[in-house]
Structure 1
Amino acid sequence: MTPDDYCQQKAAQSGSSFYYSFLFLPTQQRHAITALYAFCREVDDIVDNAEEASVARMKLAWWRGQVDLMFDGTPDHPVAIALAPHIKTFGLESAPFYAIIEGMEMDLDQFRYDDWNALKEYCWRAAGVVGDLSARIFGYTDARTLQYAETLGLAFQMTNIIRDVGDDARRGRIYLPADEMQQHGVTVDDILDGHHTVAFEALMRQQTQRAQSLYRDAMRLLPEADRRAQRPGLMMAAIYHTLLGEIERDGWHVLNQRITLTPIRKFWLAWKVWVGGGAGLIRRLSA
């Protein structure tokens, strides 16, 4: 199995919405973004599957070493080997890769967030920097496109947080601002015990409004000149924004179930953006 094959298998097995946007890209970009996604999956899986935090920290430290080797041109992990040829081609820098690893380390040390500013910092490390790297691979001519991509990454992460409240709680993690939980009268035990209440719905409505605002800000930041190049990100936006709408229509019943879209629906949403260029999506999300 080649390094590219390994990354392709990693991406396909995940069933992620990101995978559907990769299918339409030219070969070099597809290999680069798939390798980036595989990198994110590798480090994320370390934390999700960790039984001992100390072991997870050692593994993440090892991945820091792989990033060093990747930028020296001498990595030995299939994902790092697959990424290495694309560093110069797409102007990738090492700092975002270290930031992604730091975001994973936060999951080992921090299980609550005091307010939106604290949660936003986590979201930036977990997804904002991934947006930056992705935008560079997709291609851009205007620096505002990198701002768009980081903001869109925050929107994706907030959508994930809303979808995964129950799953995360079962791991002992709550990615909801503590001050806003207190504002709505929702306790940590309410979340951990899966109590769906009117107060919980109000809290989730607030988080959904924040995510909607991030989608709106992102669409307004994207320069028209880069819209075509950034279609893969817009395809992901179509899928994630639709998922957010489904969660809201279901009344935020996310404590004891995980709401998803079918693979065929994800593919259809992605295809519509690819064919239409995303203009309609941008108008709808930025309104």
Structure 2
Amino acid sequence: MITAVDVNAIDDRLQEAPSFYRTPVLRPSLKDAEEWCEHLATTHYENFHVATVLLPKALRRHFYSVYGFCRTSDDLGDEVASTEIATRLLHAWRGMLHECFATPEASKHPVFVALQPTIAECKLPREPFDDLISAFERDQVYTHHESLATLEDYSRYSANPVGRLVLLVCGYHDERLLQLSDDICTGLQLANFYQDITQDWARGRRYLPADQMQRFGVTDAQIAERRFDANFKAMMQFLVEDARARLTRGQQIEKLVDRDLQTTLSLFAKGGHAILDGIAAQGYDTLRARPVVSKAAKVRLLVGALGGKLRAALLPKRSLAR
């Protein structure tokens, strides 16, 4: 398997990246590239690993390659010394993505070597991959959101492509299903933003929409001072219910996909609801402390998902148009 030790800047487009993400001297074999992506997926983010375990085994290598792209894109934008370096790296990464689609034999990075059979077998378009890079480029310059509409637009690039890729890898191309997935992904993205208000503020970012802050009489100074009051509570109640409505609307998708995917999508949506429940449980005061989903709640979610997986194994498969 490829390791960081093997990686050198012969292809110097990623020479400013963390060493683990630089391009190998030689094009790796498909087996080595897929192992690289699997290692990244199973060691970097526990929740993603749990979700892939719930999906059909035959598709896991495709999800590992998609995750490899998403994780690398995120870290090229977030784990470097400056916005200037991040912008250069993301520009180079986009060029390598386009190369993967146009002349796949030229690709040498393990992500793009592993992605090639996924793109071909699952008939994946380039757009969702391009959109994710655009989201990470926006993060370098756009740090304060003016409205719920701008948050929706941000999620259209940062979160929704991930859900769409999950559906496409599973063989679903119907636009209605893709839009329901967008609702879940946007709702989950907003829940994460509202959970991390003070942490994002410390990083120079504000994902609370200015139009709603103005509507409810909340100021940037109030966030900086962590000053909770009735106005802030009313705003958070509105935002939590808006995000919850998106998750609930998107959950209609669970009736329209096969049981394997239904279990995973249900876990994603319920995870979003659990975050929103955590915000409500502390009286909507997200300035005092970051709301968390307790270990007990996580266990309940996982047990419920595994129970759904078991039921799916025992019941006959549905035949659904894709």
Structure 1 gaps, min length 5:
278-287
Give me the CA root mean square deviation. Answer: 2.2
- Cα distance 1:64–1:4, how it changes in 2: closer, same or farther (>3 A)? same
Which residue of 2 is the match for residue 132 of structure 1?
A: 164
Q: In the TM superposition, what are the counterparts of 1:83-232 in structure 2 within 5 Å?
A: 83-140=115-172, 142-220=174-252, 222=253, 224-231=255-262, 232=264
- Cα distance 1:64–1:253, how it changes in 2: closer, same or farther (>3 A)? same
Picking from 20, 42, 47, the partner of 1:12 is 42
Q: Distance in 2 between matches of 1:48 and 1:270?
A: 31
When Rg is computed on C-alpha atoms for both structures, the one with the higher figure is 2
- Letter aligned with residue 104 of structure 2: G
SS in 2 for 1:79: helix
Picking from 65, 69, 76, the partner of 1:39 is 69
Q: Distance in 2 between matches of 1:193 and 1:34?
A: 42
Q: Distance in 2 between matches of 1:276 and 1:252?
A: 36
Q: Is the 8 A contact 2:65 2:118 kept in 1?
A: no
- Cα distance 1:273–1:169, how it changes in 2: closer, same or farther (>3 A)? farther
- Cα distance 1:184–1:87, how it changes in 2: closer, same or farther (>3 A)? same
Cα displacement (A) at 1:223:
7.1
Which residue of 1 is the match for residue 282 of structure 2?
A: 250
- Cα distance 1:107–1:76, how it changes in 2: closer, same or farther (>3 A)? same
* CA-to-aligned-CA distance 1:125-183 (integer Å, 9 cap, x gap): 00112111111112326432111112211111111111221221111111111010111
Cα displacement (A) at 1:98:
0.8
Q: Is the 8 A contact 2:260 2:309 kept in 1?
A: no
- Cα distance 1:143–1:229, how it changes in 2: closer, same or farther (>3 A)? farther
Which residue of 2 is the match for residue 29 of structure 1?
A: 59
Between 99-108 and 191-200, report the one with greater CA deviation. Answer: 191-200
SS in 1 for 2:213: helix
Aligned length: 276
- Letter aligned with residue 82 of structure 2: E
Which residue of 2 is the match for residue 270 of structure 1?
A: 305
* CA-to-aligned-CA distance 1:164-203 (integer Å, 9 cap, x gap): 2122111111111101011122111222333333322222
Q: Does 1:66 align with 2:96?
A: yes
- Letter aligned with residue 267 of structure 1: L
Q: Distance in 2 between matches of 1:254 and 1:73?
A: 47
Structure 2 gaps, min length 5:
2-31, 313-322
Cα displacement (A) at 1:6:
2.4
- TM, length-normalised to structure 1: 0.87
Cα displacement (A) at 1:256:
5.4
- Letter aligned with residue 128 of structure 1: N
- TM, length-normalised to structure 2: 0.78
- Cα distance 1:85–1:230, how it changes in 2: closer, same or farther (>3 A)? same
Q: In the TM superposition, what are the counterparts of 1:50-65 in structure 2 within 5 Å?
A: 50-65=80-95
